[in-house]
Amino acid sequence: MPEQPLITSRHNPRIMAARQLGERKQRQQQGRFLVEGVKLLEMALRTPAQPREAFVCHQQLAPAAAPLLERLHAAGAQIHAVSPAVMQALAMREAAEGLVVTFELWEAGLDELPVADRSLLLVLDRLQDPGNLGTLLRTADAVGAAGVALIEPCADPFDPKVVRGSMGSLFHLPLARTGDVASLFAHLRARGLRIVAADAHQGVDWGQGLWQGPVALVLGNEARGLSPDVTPHIDAWARLPIVGQAESLNVAVAGGVLMYAWLRDA
């Protein structure tokens, strides 16, 4: 397996470019994002995700990570050996495992989001917290959701915090992004989906009776809830009872409960 000469400088152009991938603008410009962690990489390599470059520090390489190098090479990734100091500059996790990989960005068109007689599509209205987005992607994957549509401006699904929070589920879900709210909901309705939104104060408790057939579950922004341009497109509302003193639920918690209500009843 060929490797380039050992990279020992943090100022190497490849290293500097990879380090910039913590910024959304750079991810978009370079068309790639950064992934680390053996479990995440194993999941990524079981999907069509395309690795570009792999940076490996052999002194720090975890035993479980070593077999991934051949698979990365076979998938077309360039392998670059780096020094421990360079790996420290690249890795974002405290417990570095000696392997950091960049993958190509991907995005599905709305037409590519699969819809069947029993489908759930998750629609996220301008979420801003990467942790919430990562958790929702992980839960959507767990219940077998068909895909996720993000209404922009939204947290970037390729943000390192989202990638880690999704625990690899990012690689399993078709993702579509759009800022055209009217076209999004017209498209979903034309494909036969019922548009159901979560709300703390109105609708049917637990969404009972709303989950049969193809459903798009819409979740609002953490601070403002559903945007004014989204509300007119909602067909039905699902409410989660709050019997204590809490004013509301975290969007990732509410979304998780409702997705499992769909899984139970669909």
pLDDT digits (tens, 9 = 90+) for 139-153: 999 999 999 999 999
At 37-57, the pLDDT tens digits run 889 999 999 999 999 999 999
pLDDT band at 1; cut points 50, 70, 90: low
**Segment among 26-30, 113-117, 157-161, 223-227 with least mean pLDDT:** 113-117
Q: How many CB atoms lie within 10 A of CB 127?
A: 22
Residue 17: C-alpha distances to residues 31, 91, 174 (Å): 12, 13, 27
At 167-212, the pLDDT tens digits run 999 999 999 999 999 999 999 999 999 999 998 888 999 999 999 9
* C-beta separation of 153 from 126 below 8 A: yes
Strand partners, 11: none
The whole-angstrom distance between residue 33's C-alpha and the CA centroid of its chain comes to: 12
Predicted TM-score of the model (pTM): 0.92
Reply yes or no on whether the pLDDT at 24 is more than 80: yes
> At which residue do the structure tokens 């459903």 appear?
215
Reply yes or no on whether the pLDDT at 94 is more than 70: no
Strand arrangement, sheet containing 51-56:
4-7, 78-82, 51-56, 99-104, 32-36
Higher-confidence residue of 172 and 114: namely 172
pLDDT at 114 (0 to 100): 82
At 227-240, the pLDDT tens digits run 999 999 999 999 99
**Which amino acid type is present at position 251?**
V
pLDDT band at 214; cut points 50, 70, 90: very high
Task: Name the helix (H) or strand (E) containing 264.
Answer: helix 251-265
3-state helix, strand, coil in the chain (%, to 5): 35, 25, 40
pLDDT at 95 (0 to 100): 65
- List, in order, residues 6 or more apart from 169 with CB less than 8 Å away: 137, 138, 140, 141, 142
Residues 22, 153: Cα–Cα separation, whole Å: 18
